[in-house]
Chains A and B, each alone.
Chain A
Amino acid sequence: MSLLTAEHKAVIGRTLPAVRAEVTRREIRKYAAATGQRLDRYLAGDEAPPLFLFGLFFPVLPREELLEDGRPPDTGLLPPLPLKRVMAGGTEAEYHRRIVPGDVLLLHQTLVDLYEKAGSQGPLIFAVVENRVETEAGEPVMTERLTRIVR
């Protein structure tokens, strides 16, 4: 039995308008402390650890707009899916440039794949999103294929 229909698959390739974020020393320091970094340049916020970018573009919404599971509603990149519980899946990233306070970065997102697999506890849907991060001047910073698992 297939969970994903042609309508779901037709959404592959969809992109969202770019999201903009400013990198601040304080946000870097919070991330460094939260992840147990030990290198001085991260703890002092002189440079951001590479995975700092993971949360940099997360939407900041008022409480009443969050879903029952606490997450923000979908941004419109994914079609409505027949499964609802979301887990992290991983990433494959290329880094082009270090990230420092004062950087103003743009995120371009594209849904690049949607497929299903039989998991040990039931079906799983894998949503793969290409995140392309660049500076306002268009200099590439990071490109990744981020996977989210829906069960």
Chain B
Amino acid sequence: MLKLSAIRVGEHLPERSHQPDTVQLFMYNAAIWNPHRIHYDLPYTTEVEGHPGIVIDGPLQGDWLSQVVLEWMGDNAELVRFGYSNRRASYLGETLRATGRVAAVDHATGMVRVELEVLNENNECITPGEAVVRFPQETA
């Protein structure tokens, strides 16, 4: 169990790589009931919407960032704020890394702010994000 007193500003959260394939994207879009063709219809996506490939959902990348935080913080802490911004599209076949770093720790309130990034293979941040987690106060 992660304790507030053990968290250091600047420390990196365990990161995770994702290389979604057509099956994973199908599962995701079926689960959220999103029939937008840019996530499964390659001729339509390239010829009509002008993308170079099948588009990896922006909110799926957001979810990967949330998982970096949720797995790290443990079940005794609460996610109170979370956000992400899809700055650049990414396409099926790319390997993306979801990463996080502790940006601030407030020992008085138990609030910890984490900065998050989805990085592409060129190490460019395509989806930045931020989370605030509330940790329980430790009793002496």
A residues touching B (Cβ–Cβ < 8 Å)? Answer: 27, 30-31, 33-39, 41, 49-51, 54-55, 58, 60, 66, 69-72, 85-95, 147, 149
Interface secondary structure of B, over-half rule: mixed
For B62, give its contact among A71, A90, A94 (CB under 8 Å). A90
Tell me, in angstroms, the Cα distance from A35 to B49 when the chains sit together. Answer: 25
Tell me whether B63 and A51 are in contact (CB under 8 A). Answer: yes
B residues touching A (Cβ–Cβ < 8 Å)? Answer: 18, 24, 27-28, 30-38, 41, 44, 48-49, 55, 57-60, 62-64, 66-67, 70-71, 75, 78-86, 89, 127, 129
Tell me whether B84 and A36 are in contact (CB under 8 A). Answer: no
Tell me, in angstroms, the Cα distance from A6 to B108 when the chains sit together. Answer: 47
Residues in chain B near residue A41, CB distance under 8 A: 75
Residues in chain A near residue B41, CB distance under 8 A: 70
Number of A-B residue pairs with CB-CB distance less than 8 Å in the complex they form: 109
Tell me whether A88 and B59 are in contact (CB under 8 A). Answer: yes
Interface secondary structure of A, over-half rule: mixed
Tell me whether B60 and A50 are in contact (CB under 8 A). Answer: no
Residues in chain B near residue A92, CB distance under 8 A: 81, 83
Closest Cβ of chain A to B30, distance in Å, is 7
